[in-house]
Chain A
Amino acid sequence: MSAEPAIKIVKQDKAKRKQSTGKQQLRVVIVGHVDHGKSTLIGRLLYDTDSLPEGKVEEIEAICKRRGTDVVEWSFVLDAFQAERDQAVTIDSTQIWFSTDNRDYVIIDAPGHREFLKNMISGAAAADAAILVVDGAEGVQEQTRRHAYLLHLLGLQQIAVVINKMDLVNHDTEAFENVSREVREYLGSIGVTPRFIIPISARNGDMIASRGESMGWYSGKTLIEVLDSFENAALPVSRPLRFPVQDVYRFQGKRIIVGRVESGILRKGDRLMFSPGNEEATVTSLEVWPEDDDKVEARPGEAIGITLDQRLFVERGHIGSHTKNPPMLSNVFRASIFWLSQKPLKVGNSYKIRFGSHEAMVTVQSIDKVIDTQDLADQSDKSEVKRNTVAEVTLRARDLLPIDPYSDNERLGRIVMYQGYDIAGGGVISMEGYADQRRRKAPKSENIHKVEHLLNHDVRAKRAGHRGGVFWFTGLSGSGKSTLAMAVEKALFEKGFSTYVLDGDNIRHGLNRDLGFSPKDRSENIRRIGHVAALMADAGLIVLSAFISPYRADRRRARAAAGEKYNELYLAADLDICEKRDPKGLYKKARAGEIKDFTGIDSPYEKPENPEMIIDTARQDVETCVEQIVAYIERQVALGDLSDDGKDKEQVLDYVV
């Protein structure tokens, strides 16, 4: 405790209380070593800006008296917890509002105790600017360095250093210079330049709101003047658009994709691409409530909903961008992290990470650096990262992740790491040394050219005696796809046609062995089958594909791959009938919840809007259906006039039920 006399509290004129300006707030975090006077500074800031509620000053005086001290402890303003007053340390980060003539502020108080680092990060991560409090007598201490390093890691640019307790060093200019130099040296070593270094006495209120009389030698700004000179972070409007999908709602037949624009501007009519699936669609509306037809664009920070012109596989975690500047795709990246969990991070361990709404499992491939924030030396033991330390690590995921390095996108370039139920750490992403793998996923390279065959389809068709074609059977499980495809194949073969059935199992055992049953994998499954079918048809085969293929968008892609050789055959049998048939017992399992995302039960089937043929497999027997289909195929693959496009629309109508 200082030997200073008790402060005289001058009653302020109530009318002087600053009005909340109604402008954007600046969030300021106050950090520093324990007992360097953070809470005292906050109490003083509130008092000096007339921001304390009526009665608070008297309340604090009374509490101080009860505790047997005449000296006003400004830190009591914040110490709402009984427990805290007893321990005389701030347990958790607290937020307090005040206003100057120019602006509204939220102060985030961050505790100085080592074990409460997670609270300091919780506070500091939300801040626009920071005040680093350093005791003028003690100088730079352990927490001073650690907090400064974390401010740097959290990306805070606007930092003011206050050298506090100048009253304890007789307001000496030399003492101030010495501590200032010490602070500057450390900050310089981590690449931070403090914007201001101010000598203050929080206890007496010198150089906070008013200059006081004790430090006439200092000609710089007071703390309040410095705060007023800080700026709110500019919205990243000119960065590439990032729209992480938070959820997908289905309201009154509308499919609304909701999320928050993190950077760039999203406009009605924009062509969007969703990573990592890379599917594209156009924004048809921005959805807000109450309805607003004039709402045609959304800027960073806005939480909105959109509708698209096509039904894509878009789910929580996908990242919408414009087609020009999508995020990178990579399954490996580096991160500078801070670790908060009791259990150390270890090489080979797996953790759940989140950035935006994207969630993924990653494995620690290597710990590249463990940094001692005291001297910034690289630690030799790189087998683990202990609690409350910072490190550089390389993380590897199973799938490609849509990644933006922190240097490109501050909001999405940072990850939070989970261990069990708990947030265990966080950090910022660097892609240094790793390439974008997007090309591997969707080779759009200009160096790939379609090779011109010397033989064309007509020549092949003449040799075979018939054309090739894709006959795409779609319908619910149990609608008869496999049964009919196999029977039709046999019938065609016996008539001398070259034909082949693509069926779920034979594809999933080989070509698509790497795919599961997530919507994304299902979509990829169908995409590959569509291309295989198109190639085989081009080679002259009659390809019969038998897949549920529930989504229009997927079938549309299969049609696009095969062009005019594509024919969609819809096996119309409703759910009741298919469920009664249940040839593989799958509906039963789906109803029991043993199978998830089962088409017709908890996953939708989108009926074809304009199929080439509809077969009523509910009312017709197998033989009748086979006859109809074979007759249709024969007409489609007949040589006829080879310049004709071959489609027989009038005949098709006969089969439309």
Chain B
Amino acid sequence: MYKYLDELEAKSIYIIREAYNRVDPMCMLWSIGKDSTALLWLVRKAFLGRVPFPLVLLDTGMEMQEVYDFRDNLIKEWDLNCINHMCPPEEDMDQTLPPATRSAMRKTEGLKSLLREHNFKGVIAGIRRDEQGLRAKERVFSPRTIDGNWDFKDQPPEFWDQYKTEFPEGAHLRIHPILHWTELDIWRYTQRENIPCCELYFARKDKKTGKMMRYRSLGEKNITFPVESPASNIEEIIHELETTNTSERAGRSMDKETEDSFERLRAAGYM
């Protein structure tokens, strides 16, 4: 089924193994969403069932309960080593930012304190080019300054699967093994490989309105909203995506607050 996924999968495995060989110590951000869970599956493929580096949840305490439950089950079932890293409180954020962007900034700051604490040289993240215009500009091995800043105007060249993996002391690398996948690819792969995913992605009847609603993208309680959709299983989600024109992050308010909210977040070190 979907033979083309083999090519995407092989490319991701190659990148993951390359990162593991070149970057040490390293961790992987696991947001518990569909992308990073599919990525986790690819990591297990790369290391023949193992996960040879820690997983990290940047926890704001604001994830939905279903997300926490899903995480706890999978940690048990797959015997995972997961660091639950608490992000600094919202009061500490730049108060000039709009509320949802401010909330996302907590994760950015959480990531910085994680790096300080564990001295990680590399962070694997499950972002994709098709999610957002800015992410489309990303490199597979993407350098960050010591403050986590991203210099998108002067990125290193990257071609022929040869990556820039060495950096001066203090900088760190973001590694993006599923950059070349699309939302639809992820769902087709999740279906094909039978990868577990959080129940929030499937449509449920909203008690107030009676409408069928589901989350297309998972984020914190206060800044992520379900969209109207009848898709209540993976097959229906795939069918929906094959025909929709609505963007994936439609339920994410931080992307819309101002024209450049997301850009400001990314430049400051957001995923």
Contacts and interface: CB of A to CB of B under 8 A. Distances in A.
B154 to A, nearest CB: 9
Interface in A31-75: 50, 52-56, 63
Interface in A4-24: 14-15, 17, 19-20, 22-24
A54 B245 contact: yes
B75 interface: no
Contact of A81 (B157, B243, B263): B263
Interface residues of A, number: 60
Given A82-B259, A92-B137, A421-B164, A303 B44 contact: no
B132 A249 contact: no
A20 B246 CA distance: 15
Contact of B4 (A22, A91, A426): A22
B133 interface: yes
B185 to A, nearest CB: 9
Contacts of A79: 133
A23 to B, nearest CB: 6
B223 to A, nearest CB: 19
Contacts of B139: 122
A50 B130 CA distance: 16
B162 A94 contact: no
Contacts, number: 140
A38 to B, nearest CB: 15
Given A354-B162, A416-B159, A421-B167, A80 B20 contact: no
Contacts of B49: 289-290
A289, A302, A340, A354: which has the most chain B beta carbons within 10 Å?
A289
A579 to B, nearest CB: 27
A303 B155 contact: no
Interface in B197-248: 241-247
A256 B48 contact: yes
B74 interface: no
Nearest to A120: B157
Interface stretch (B11-19, B62-70, B107-115, B118-126): B11-19
Nearest to B137: A92
A23 B4 contact: yes
B219 to A, nearest CB: 19
Interface in B111-156: 129-130, 132-134, 136-137, 139, 152-153, 155-156
A423 B136 contact: no
B133 A80 contact: yes
B242 A426 contact: no
B263 A423 contact: no
B40 to A, nearest CB: 13
Contacts of A258: 17
A122 B158 contact: yes
A22 B2 contact: yes
A82 B264 CA distance: 10
Contacts of A55: 246-247
Given A94-B137, A421-B164, A82 B157 contact: no
Nearest to B193: A290
Contacts of A260: 10, 14
A50 B18 CA distance: 37
A119 interface: yes
A360 interface: no
B162 A421 contact: no
Contact of A249 (B45, B47, B152, B157): B47
Of the listed residues B20, B47, B158, the one surrounded by the most CB atoms of chain A closer than 10 A to its CB is B158
Contacts of A288: 45, 48
A423 B164 contact: yes
Interface string A334-354: 000000100000000000001
B94 interface: no
A354 B160 CA distance: 10
Interface of A: 14-15, 17, 19-20, 22-25, 50, 52-56, 63, 78-83, 91-97, 106, 118-119, 121-122, 125-126, 246-247, 249, 251, 256, 258, 260, 287-290, 301-303, 305, 316, 340, 354, 414, 416, 421-423, 426
Interface of B: 2-4, 6-7, 10-11, 13-14, 17-18, 20-21, 44-50, 129-130, 132-134, 136-137, 139, 152-153, 155-160, 162, 164, 166-168, 180, 182, 184, 188, 241-247, 259-260, 263
Given A80-B136, A83-B153, A316-B21, 13 more contacts: A22-B188, A24-B3, A50-B245, A54-B244, A82-B260, A95-B180, A106-B180, A118-B157, A122-B139, A256-B48, A301-B7, A303-B10, A416-B159
Which 8 pairs from chain A and chain B are nearest by CB?
A: A80-B133, A125-B159, A118-B157, A416-B162, A54-B245, A53-B247, A303-B13, A289-B48
11 contacts: A17-B244, A50-B245, A55-B246, A80-B263, A81-B133, A122-B158, A246-B17, A249-B47, A251-B47, A303-B17, A423-B158
